[in-house]
């Protein structure tokens, strides 16, 4: 299973990523071991995720979410 997720950072910015182990990935982000972007913005909070059966679909969706404006990401989260 592949996950595409959105995190809310301490500074209220949003970070989008993908992983195969959602719980472990969020723990790593909060330990400062995640993406460079989130290291200075911890703690982070999971606010949205989707599941996919293959990596290709997950990566395509991650890319499409990253192209959205913050307002559109917030609409997606609040759906």
The end-to-end CA distance of the chain, in Å, is 22
**pLDDT one-digit tens code per residue, 31-51:** 999 899 999 999 999 999 999
Q: Is this model's pTM higher than 0.85 or not?
A: yes
**Structural domains of the chain sorted by starting position, each given as residue range(s) with its CATH number in brackets:** 2-78 (3.40.1440.10)
Go through 68-77 and write b for each residue having 16 or more CB atoms within 10 A of its CB, e for each that does not. eeeeebbeee
Whether residue 24 has pLDDT greater than 90: yes
Integer-rounded Cα radius of gyration of the chain: 12
17-21, 24-28, 31-35, 46-50: least confidently modelled range: 31-35
Task: Give whole-number Cα distances, 53 to 4, 20, 41, in Å.
Answer: 11, 10, 30
């Amino acid at each position: 299973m592949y996950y595409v997720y959105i995190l809310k950072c301490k500074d209220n910015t949003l970070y989008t990523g993908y992983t195969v182990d959602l719980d472990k990935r969020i723990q790593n982000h909060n330990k400062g071991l995640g993406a460079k972007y989130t290291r200075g913005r911890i703690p982070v909070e999971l606010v949205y995720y989707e599941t996919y059966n293959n990596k290709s679909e997950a990566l395509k969706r991650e890319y499409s979410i990253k192209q959205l404006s913050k307002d559109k990401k917030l609409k997606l989260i609040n759906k």
